[in-house]
Amino acid sequence: MTRVVFMGSPDLAVPSLEALIAVKNIEVVAVFTQPDRPVGRGRKLQPSPVKVAALQHGLTVHTPQKISAPDVQPLVEEAKADLAIVCAYGHILPDRLLALFPAGCYNLHFSLLPRWRGASPVQAAILAGDVNTGVSLQSMVRELDAGPIVSETPPMEINPQETAGELAPRLATAAAELLSATLPILIQGNPPKKEQDHDQATFCRTIQKSAGRVDVSAETAKEIDRKVRAYHPWPGGFAFLEGRRLGLEKVVAMDETLEPEGVPSDQAVGVVHPTGWVKTREGWLQLVEVKPEGKRAMAWADFVRGRPLAPTAELLPDPPA
């Protein structure tokens, strides 16, 4: 029986935990996940999805604030694990913890490394207009996502209108399947590893709440389309219309060589036509679905029907001073 520690936090890590639990000669001896966080207007503490799943299976769960804290190492040592599997945990493991797993410590990363090392690979791939992405299983080292690759999925196509909220679950399923297929060689120890081409590495950062801010005078229609999809459902694309914040739930960029019918070709950049068309720095953008502040998401036609716009209404990146 191989003893395994699992480390992960969001719902995207749950399929990989379930894949481990399903293997007969594997015992998940401990799960490490993020602490309970306050959520919603009531700020009620809510456990991570991984914690919920682990407790449903009767597993031992640890929720340290910092994985590098001195009191964490005894918990790992007590587990007497052979192997560690990490998936979207949110912490970088120090060398002294990596050394505690005789069969190694492996991370499931939602990109085809070395592209998009870092905290937001799914969003980064959409934002950059990548055609493909995938999942990598890498041997962990102290440097972020720089370890050698043990296995990876074939390239997975990013659909032209796919959002991060749609792509991420597909990758989570692929990660669980990749883990299941690779576990036998991990259990044997010393699996074949391929060093990354570090010169080809690209990087992404933790997403800030303000990342979805849209500026039609500085960004092209295609860039805005990718941004809205990359940051859906969180933090969401947004701009300001007639002084109020407007969430951009779905937009469509028109080919740069075309112009929308029924819209004046000399319409100023940023002015919103009643049909939802907006001229950007380069190309036209159509507002398809929006979310007024404090209200539900709705079709643009429903929004403008209930709130007719002034002829000069502009989509702005900031509220008026």
Phi, psi of 174 (to 5 degrees): -65, -35
The yes-or-no verdict on residue 189 having pLDDT over 90 is: no
Beta strand 61-62 with 136-139 is unpaired
Could you read off the pLDDT of 190-209 as tens digits, one per residue?
Answer: 899 999 999 999 999 999 99
Q: 253, 221 in Cβ contact below 8 A?
A: yes
The pLDDT value recorded for residue 186 is 94
Q: Which CATH superfamily is domain 209-316 in?
A: Formyl transferase, C-terminal domain (3.10.25.10)
The pTM score is 0.94
The amino acid at 67: I
Paired with 165 in beta bridges are none
The pLDDT value recorded for residue 241 is 97
Alpha-carbon Rg for the chain, nearest whole angstrom, is 23
When the candidates are 1.10.3720.10, 3.40.50.170, 1.20.1090.10, 1.10.443.10, the CATH number that belongs to 2-204 is 3.40.50.170
User: Within 10 A of 84 (CB to CB), how many other CB atoms are there?
Assistant: 24
Could you read off the pLDDT of 42-69 as tens digits, one per residue?
Answer: 788 999 999 999 999 999 999 999 999 9
Beta strand 315-316 with 237-241 is antiparallel
Nearest-CA neighbor of 151 among 122, 123, 175, 120?
175
How distant, in Å, are the alpha carbons of 154, 283, 311 from that of 267? 45, 12, 10
Enumerate helices (H) and strands (E) in the chain, giving the number of each: 8, 19
Nearest-CA neighbor of 133 among 141, 142, 124?
124
Task: Give, as one character, the DSSP assignment of residue 13.
Answer: G
Which whole number is the average pLDDT over 115-122?
97
Phi, psi of 267 (to 5 degrees): -60, 135
Please give the Cα distance from 20 to 139 (Å, whole number): 17
Residue with structure tokens 């749950």? 14
The yes-or-no verdict on residue 262 having pLDDT over 90 is: no
Peptide bond into 235 cis (omega under 30): yes
Please give the Cα distance from 302 to 305 (Å, whole number): 5
Which whole number is the average pLDDT over 128-146?
95
Q: Tell me where in the chain the CATH 3.10.25.10 domain(s) lie.
A: 209-316
Q: Tell me where in the chain the CATH 3.40.50.170 domain(s) lie.
A: 2-204
Please give the Cα distance from 192 to 73 (Å, whole number): 28
Residue 292, token pair as written in the block: 């007024």
Please give the Cα distance from 14 to 172 (Å, whole number): 8
C-alpha of 309 from chain center:
35
User: Within 10 A of 153 (CB to CB), how many other CB atoms are there?
Assistant: 17
The pLDDT value recorded for residue 165 is 98
Q: Outline where the chain has alpha helix (H).
A: 14-22, 49-56, 72-79, 95-98, 121-127, 164-188, 221-230, 300-306
The yes-or-no verdict on residue 157 having pLDDT over 80 is: yes
The pLDDT value recorded for residue 142 is 86
Phi, psi of 109 (to 5 degrees): -120, 135
What percent of the chain clears pLDDT 90, i.e. is strictly above it? 88
Q: Please, which pLDDT band fits residue 90 given cuts at 50, 70 and 90?
A: confident
